[in-house]
Structure 1
Amino acid sequence: MSIAMLIVFGIALVATGVSVTFMIASAVPQPMLQRAQEHGRFAGLAADDQNGGSGKQVSAGRPNLGNQAINAI
């Protein structure tokens, strides 16, 4: 197989990936997009979610890990 054929195959593979990604993104319903815009990108995607987000609040700071020793060999 020549290098030109590999380049054409690579471009075709990337184009296929782009088109599939576009089709998946186009299939997302508008209400879900609006809710994601208002509440964050994972809001309402849990199976048991009724009225609000599905996760718990995470602090932006460093987590409190307490006193820990690093054992290195």
Structure 2
Amino acid sequence: MSIALLVVIGIALVAGGVGVTFALASALPQDVLQRAQDNGRYAGLTADDQGGSTGTRATTGARNLGHQTINAI
């Protein structure tokens, strides 16, 4: 298998992924996109966010126990 064939296959796979992504984004209704924008992973992370959450340290609720040794058999 030559390098040129591998490059062509790679480009075809990337183009296929782009096409599928575009088709999925085009097929979703506008209300689904709006709900995802409001409640999605990056909801509330705008530059004008006044909640004070930008730049603050995220805590998991667990105590910081320092360095611990893992005892395994």
Is TM > 0.5 for Structure 1 vs Structure 2? Answer: yes
Dislocated runs of 4+, deviation >6 Å: none
Percent identity, aligned pairs only, is 53
- Unpaired segments of 5 or more residues in structure 2? 42-57
Q: Partners of 1:7 and 1:22 in 2: how far apart?
A: 23
Alpha carbons of structure 1 residues 71 and 5: separation in structure 2 relative to 1, 3 Å = closer
- Unpaired segments of 5 or more residues in structure 1? 43-59
Provide the aligned length of Structure 1 versus Structure 2. 54
Greater length-normalized contact order (CA 8 Å, ≥ 6 residues apart): 1
Q: How does 1:17-28 map to 2 (within 5 A)?
A: 17-28=17-28
**Aligned CA-pair RMSD:** 2.5
What is the TM-score with the length of structure 2 in the denominator?
0.56
Question: Residue 17 of structure 1: CA displacement?
Answer: 0.9
